[in-house]
Each structure stands twice: as C-alpha cells, then as structure tokens.
Structure 1
Amino acid sequence: MNLIIREAKIIDPKSPFHNQIVDVQIGNKTIEKIASNLPNPNGFKEIKLDNLHLSEGWFDSSVSLGEPGYEDRETISNGLIVAAKSGFTSIALQPNSYPIIDNQSQINFVKNKANDSATQLFPIGALTKGSEGKDLAEMFDMKNAGAVAFGDYNKNMDNANLLKIGLQYVQDFDGLVIAYAQDSNIKGSGVANEGIVSTRLGLKGIPNLAEELQVARNLFLLEYTGGKLHFPTISSAKSVALIKEAKTKGLQVTSSVAVHHLVLTDEKLDEFDTRFKVSPPLRTDADRKALLAGVLDNTIDMITSDHNPIDIEHKKMEFDMAKNGTIGLESAFGALLTVLPLEKVIEKLTAGKNTFSIENNSIKEGAIANFTLFTPEINWTFTKENILSKSKNSAFLGVAMKGKVYGIFNQGKLVL
C-alpha cells in the first residue's frame, strides 16, 4: 500500500524526528520520506486524524487466543484484528490452546493461520510436554519452526531440576525460558490475594509469598546455569526487589507486568465479580505502587495486556469455580495512560521486542513501516461497545481511560 500520513507527531526516541510533527510517506512497505508538507504527485492515499501521534509498533508479550481447540473463546484471525485495532503490530501467542503448542507442527499451524494479518504472531512454545511439568518439550524443533520463547502459561515449574535442565539446554540455541512464579502448594486452593479484602469476603487467600519464593528460587537456578530467564506478570513489591537485585549481579533476567496489576487492586473484589479473578491475583495498592515504580526505574522491562479470553460458561459462575483471566488488548493503552506518562507507556509497549528477539523498526527514512497510530489526550470510559473480542470478560468495564488507538500500519497493511 502506498500512503501518506499527514501531520503526525512522532514519539520515538530512536528517530531523528522524535517529538516533531511531520508527514510520513510509505511506499512498498518502506518509509520513503519524512518531512513537513510532503507533495503527493503520484496520488498516494492520504490519512489525516485529529491529534495524530505515531510510534514504533507495539508488542504484547502475553496473549492467549484459543485456537486450536477453544475457538468459542477466540479465533486467531479475529484475535489478530483485535490486536491491530488495539495498537499492536506484533504479539507473542501463549501455548495454552487444545492441544497445547508443544511441538513443531503446532507452531507451524498457528503461524500459518496468521500469514495474511497486519499484526504479526510470534508463538511461545510450551516448556514441557502438554504443559504438565514432567518432561521437557521439543524446544529445539520449535525454535527452528519459529517459537520465540518457551514457557507453560500460568503454570509454575514445581520441579526445580527440570527448570535447571531447561535453562541449560536452551543455551545451545540462545533460547528464552519463561518461568511463571506461583508456588502451587502455598497457593493451595486460594482464589484471591491474601489480605484484608480476602479475609473480609471469606475468600481463600494466595499470599505474595507464593510468588516471591519461586522468583527467588528461579533466580538462584539462573545464577547457577546462566542463560536467559523471563518472569511474566509479576505482581508483588518483593518480586520487583528480587529482580532488581538480580540485575545488579548481571543476570540475564527480564520481567513483565500486566496492565490490570498497574491499574486495579483487590478492592475490586467486593462484589465477587469474576471479571476480576486473574492469575496472579490483584494485589494491594502498596504492591501496585511498587510495580509502577519498577516500571519507571526499568526494573520491569515490559508491560503486557495478558489478554486471556474466557467463555461466559467458565466465567459467569461462583467466584471459587470461575476460571482466571481477563481480556486486555482493547483497554491496554487507555488504562496505562491513567497511571504512567506517554513516553514510558510507549517504551514499555515496545521494549519486549528486544527480549523476544523481534525486529525493532524505528521511524526513519528507509526503515520498514511498522507503527502504531494513536491520540493521547481523549478522556473516555471503557464499555461493552469497546470490546472487539469474542469473549467479553474484561476487568476494565466502567473504568476511566485516557488516550485512544487509531490503528496500525504493518506488513504493508493499514488497519484503522
């Protein structure tokens, strides 16, 4: 597609046009010219939007969809449209489908499903066969097929020796291990953050300790083995401190935090609404503020929506029985701007590409055109009408938002 984007403010510290309002001309998937008042002698399509801002395309490091096996929750094709309209030019797909994505053929299947999409799909392969935590999966084959990392979604690796062997094994091909941290014995049958709210409501609690013990253990393993380890969706102040200390030692450790843990707290559970049942659970405001501080000082490397569609049959039920998870792609940007400055939001929605070895494309002449279009100033409220996913389990219904996504340009396609 040949295109000229008019009067866009560039938000990209790596670009020579950072913080400038310019026109951007795209031809054959490449940024051809950037300047003010570009002529259009060849009749390129033009777009001009109110208070338009452009940044490098955003990446979400944790997206669950459903296909194969759970197409009633979400399909790959619709999920990628949702991601595009939410501002994401690339996503890392979690392996928690049916069957679990734990072999080369499953990696090929999901990649082929995404071939014609504007948003690129990068699959995460399961770390263990069937994500059962018993035997390592065929990681080298999956890496060759296109897997960008290996982890069992929202499942703790109870077997420390197996995680040790996995960290050693992937070093032969520079692989990335994802280690969700939640001690299953300490969690027990807990369903909410252990604290004042869970006690008041009579809900079984999950203490911060369940996460922090595993973070500490896994960091000890990483220090012993070397390699690269990623902690997804950390939720406690102590986890931030442990990871910060590990980074000062020079360990190759990264982490992400989910949008809902930066914006919401366990106070939302007062009405037993299962939309707020997530894993790890929503924590206290003290934890939320520590997570924000971790984002601001770069202890936490990236922010994810942790988008997890759940069908109504498994969500609209007793709190103890309902499945964990919230959708989050559609609300991610608007929610983040209520708690973080714009440039930090953009930084944390793009930095994950470095960890997952995905190409970065700065906004400069000659670069591949891969960017997100948005406006940061609009104030609005997230409602059901804003949900684009097949599943409607959003923890952000009724939440005040700031800033809206217009769409993306990637793979030679414009999605608005």
Structure 2
Amino acid sequence: MNALLKSATIIDPKSDFHNQTVDILIENGVITEISKTLKNPKSIQEIDLKNLHVSQGWFDSSVSFGEPGYEERETIENGLKTAALSGFTSVALNPNTNPVIDCNSDVSFVKAKAEKHAVNLYPIGALTKESKGVDLAELFDMKNAGAIAFGDYEKPIENPNLLKIALQYASNFDGLVLSFPQENKISGKGVMNEQFTSTSIGLKGNPNMAEELQISRDLFLLEYTEGKLHIPTISTAKSVELIREAKRKKLNVSCSVAIHNLIITDESLTTFNTNFKVLPPLRTKEDISALIDGLKDGTIDMVTSNHNPIDIEHKKIEFDFAKYGTLGLESAFGILNSHFSTKKTIDYLTKGKNRFGVTSQAIAIGNKADLSLFNPNGTQKFTKDAIKSTSKNAIFLGYETKGKVYGIVANNKLILN
C-alpha cells in the first residue's frame, strides 16, 4: 500500500514531528518521508482530507465479536471492519464465544479468521475452562498460540485459591491475568446500581461494595503472589482509591474503565432502555468524578469501549431479562473527544498497548505505518446511521459527539470511511 497523506497534523509526543502539520509518504506500509511539503512524482494515491490529524493507532483492550457461536451478534470480519472505520488499529478480543476461547486451537482459529485484515486482533484466552471458574485453562499453550492475556469475560473468579494459583502460574511466563471485579454473593440479582434511582424505579440493585470487596481480595492475593494483574472496567470511587493505594505499594496492577462509566449515570435508567444495561452498572456523579480523577492521575491505565454487540432478541425485552452490553467502538473517539481534550483522548486510546504487549511505534521515518486518521473538530449526534456493527445496542445513541474518524493505515492497508 502506497499513500501520501497531505497536510496531516501529527499528534504523537514520541515523534519528532509532534504538533506539526506535514506531508507523510507511506510506501509498502512503511513511512519513508515526512516533510512540510512533499512532491508526488510517482503518482502515489494522495489522501487530502479536511483538517486531517494522525496519531499512533488506537487500541481497545476489551471487545467482543460473537464469532464463533454468536455470529448473529457480530462476525470477526465485520467486527474488524467496524474497528477500522472507528479508528482502531488493534483490539483485544474477549473469549465470550461458543465454544469459549480456552485452548490453543481456539486462539489459532480466531487469529486465522483475522489474517489479512488491517486491524490487529489479539485474543484474550479464558482463565478457566469454558469460563466456568472451576479449573484453569491451558494458559501457557494459549500464550504460545498468541493469547495476550487471560480472563473470564464479565465473570468473577469466585474461588480465591484458583486466582492465587493462576497468578503464580502465569508469572512463570510473564502472563497477564484479568479478574472481573464483582462479588456475586453481594451483587445477587441486581441489574443496576444500588442507590436512590434503583429504589425509586423498582429495579434490584448491585451495590458498589460488590466491586470493592472483590478488588480488595484480588489485591491481597496479588501482593501475596507477586503476580501480574489487570482489573477490567472499574466503576466506583472506592475502587479507584484501592488501586491507587496498591500502586503506591508498587504492586504489578493495572485497570481500565469503560467509556460509558465515565459519562452516564444510573439516573438514565429511569426510561428502562436496555441499551443502558451494562456490567459493571452505571453509577453516580460522585463515582464518575472519582473515575475521571483516577484517569487523570494515572491510577486508571486505559479506557475501553467494552464493545459488546447483543442481538435484538436479547436486548429488546423486559429489563430484568435483557443481556448486559453495549456497542462502543463507533462512538469511542467522538464521545471522549467531546469530554476531554483531543490530546488526552488520543493518550487514553493508546496508552493500554504496553500493558498488553501490543507493539507501539512512534510516527517516524523507517517505522511501519500504524496510524489513526481523524478530524478533531465538528459536532454531530451519534445516530443509527453511524453504527457499523451488525447489532444496534448502542448506549450513546442520540448523544452529541465531537470530531470525525476518517479511518486507519495499518498492516500495509488503507481503510477509509
């Protein structure tokens, strides 16, 4: 793939051209020239887009595509196309498939389905067999097949000894263990945040304590084992405090927050719209404020869309019985960019790479082109027309977004909206 990006403003603190508007020549997928103005004697395809900005390719640490087993929700092919058109060059795929991704051949299958796509797909292997929380899965075999981490998607490890053993075993090969922060005996049948809103509308509540107890336990086990732990999608103020203290103690822990948990409160559930049924549940303004503070001071390591397509049969039903999950890839940049500066937005969308072992290269001559292309300006409402996924369960429908994603350059391919 050859292309000449014209008048592109580079947003990359690791690049010598940070904050500069330049032309970028890409030949065979490699950046060969960067200069204020470049001629085009070879008649290479020119990409001349309004207010074009480029950054290192964005990474999402938690996406679900359904395939294999739930192709009616999303296929890997369409999921990767959606990711590309949403500006992401790399995604970590959750193992909530059928069968669950819990062995070498399962990891190899999803990687093979993603070959020759512009977006890099990095499988997360299940931590336990069939994600049932009873026996450890084949972690080392999955690591050798290409799994970058191990966790049971949105299923907590109820047996503390099992998590202890997993942390100890994975440390032998620098494996990253994910532990979903929820104590099921406390959360019970709660379907939303336990607070004033849940009481007023008559839905069962899932209290903050269910998350915080589990995180406290997991951090205690982490300190004992000296393992490597990632806590996905935290949602409460106390959770931020717990992880902040653990980092002060130099524990090897990281965490993420879902974008919707940074923006939307539990008060939105008064409409009983099942698109707002997510796990962890939407919390309060006080929790959101603490999460944003944690993001700004580095306690929270990354944001995720927690993209989880759910077919209409499992969403357009009574709230108690609807499945948890929302789309998030398509709205991720526009929502973040409308609440944070563009530079912060790009930072939040790229800083998870190192933790998950995803290659990160500065925008520099001689490096492979792994770029997200976007315009940070302009506002519009997020509508169904913007959804590229097969499913349509988007929590941010009707929300104001800022900026426009043009596409990506990655793996020697150019994908544009």
Aligned equivalents of 1:264 and 1:285: distance in 2? 8
Aligned pair 1:31/2:31, yes or no? yes
Counterpart position of 2:404: 404
What are the residue-to-residue correspondences of 1:335-374 with 2, within 5 Å? Answer: 335-374=335-374
Counterpart position of 2:127: 127
How much has 1:289 moved relative to structure 2? Answer: 1.2
What SS does the aligned partner of 1:170 have?
helix
273-282 vs 41-50, which moves further: 41-50
What are the residue-to-residue correspondences of 1:158-169 with 2, within 5 Å? Answer: 158-169=158-169
CA contact (8 A) 1:30 1:369 kept: yes
Aligned pair 1:149/2:111, yes or no? no
Counterpart position of 1:76: 76
Show CA shifts across 1:355-374 (max 9, x none). Answer: 00010011011111001000
Aligned pair 1:92/2:92, yes or no? yes
Aligned pair 1:58/2:24, yes or no? no
Q: What code does the residue aligned with 2:298 have?
A: N
CA contact (8 A) 1:171 1:227 kept: yes
How much has 1:403 moved relative to structure 2? Answer: 1.1
Counterpart position of 1:256: 256
How much has 1:29 moved relative to structure 2? Answer: 1.2
Aligned equivalents of 1:196 and 1:49: distance in 2? 48
Counterpart position of 1:5: 5
Aligned equivalents of 1:378 and 1:212: distance in 2? 39
Counterpart position of 1:105: 105
Counterpart position of 1:14: 14
Aligned equivalents of 1:367 and 1:177: distance in 2? 31
Aligned pair 1:140/2:140, yes or no? yes
Q: What code does the residue aligned with 1:267 have?
A: E
What SS does the aligned partner of 2:310 have?
coil
Show CA shifts across 1:76-117 (max 9, x none). Answer: 000000000000000000000000000000000000000011
What SS does the aligned partner of 2:161 have?
helix
340-349 vs 191-200, which moves further: 340-349
Aligned equivalents of 1:377 and 1:196: distance in 2? 38
Counterpart position of 2:324: 324
What SS does the aligned partner of 2:242 have?
helix
TM-score, normalised to structure 1, is: 0.99
Aligned equivalents of 1:2 and 1:311: distance in 2? 38
What SS does the aligned partner of 1:353 have?
coil
Aligned equivalents of 2:265 and 2:4: distance in 1? 43
How much has 1:144 moved relative to structure 2? Answer: 0.1
Aligned equivalents of 1:193 and 1:339: distance in 2? 23
Counterpart position of 2:284: 284
How much has 1:178 moved relative to structure 2? Answer: 0.5
Show CA shifts across 1:53-84 (max 9, x none). Answer: 00000000000000000000000000000000
Aligned equivalents of 1:227 and 1:348: distance in 2? 25
TM-score, normalised to structure 2, is: 0.99
How much has 1:404 moved relative to structure 2? Answer: 1.3
Aligned equivalents of 1:196 and 1:340: distance in 2? 29
Aligned equivalents of 1:275 and 1:128: distance in 2? 29
Aligned equivalents of 2:31 and 2:283: distance in 1? 44
Aligned equivalents of 2:126 and 2:93: distance in 1? 11
Show CA shifts across 1:168-205 (max 9, x none). Answer: 00011110001111000000000000001101100100
Q: What code does the residue aligned with 1:330 have?
A: E
Aligned equivalents of 1:248 and 1:29: distance in 2? 41
- How many residue pairs are counted as aligned between the two chains? 416
CA contact (8 A) 1:154 1:180 kept: yes
Aligned equivalents of 1:371 and 1:87: distance in 2? 8
CA contact (8 A) 1:262 1:339 kept: no
Aligned equivalents of 1:32 and 1:131: distance in 2? 46
Aligned equivalents of 1:338 and 1:294: distance in 2? 19
What SS does the aligned partner of 1:278 have?
coil
Q: What code does the residue aligned with 2:299 have?
A: T
Aligned equivalents of 1:281 and 1:293: distance in 2? 19
Q: What code does the residue aligned with 2:231 have?
A: F
Q: Which runs of 5+ in 1 are unaligned?
A: none
Aligned pair 1:202/2:202, yes or no? yes
Counterpart position of 1:241: 241
Counterpart position of 2:334: 334
Aligned equivalents of 2:380 and 2:295: distance in 1? 24
Aligned equivalents of 1:35 and 1:270: distance in 2? 54
How much has 1:266 moved relative to structure 2? Answer: 0.6
How much has 1:332 moved relative to structure 2? Answer: 0.5
Q: What code does the residue aligned with 1:273 have?
A: N
Q: What code does the residue aligned with 2:254 have?
A: T
Q: What code does the residue aligned with 1:77 have?
A: E
What are the residue-to-residue correspondences of 1:171-250 with 2, within 5 Å? Answer: 171-250=171-250
Show CA shifts across 1:294-327 (max 9, x none). Answer: 1111111011000000000000001100000001
Q: What code does the residue aligned with 1:175 have?
A: G
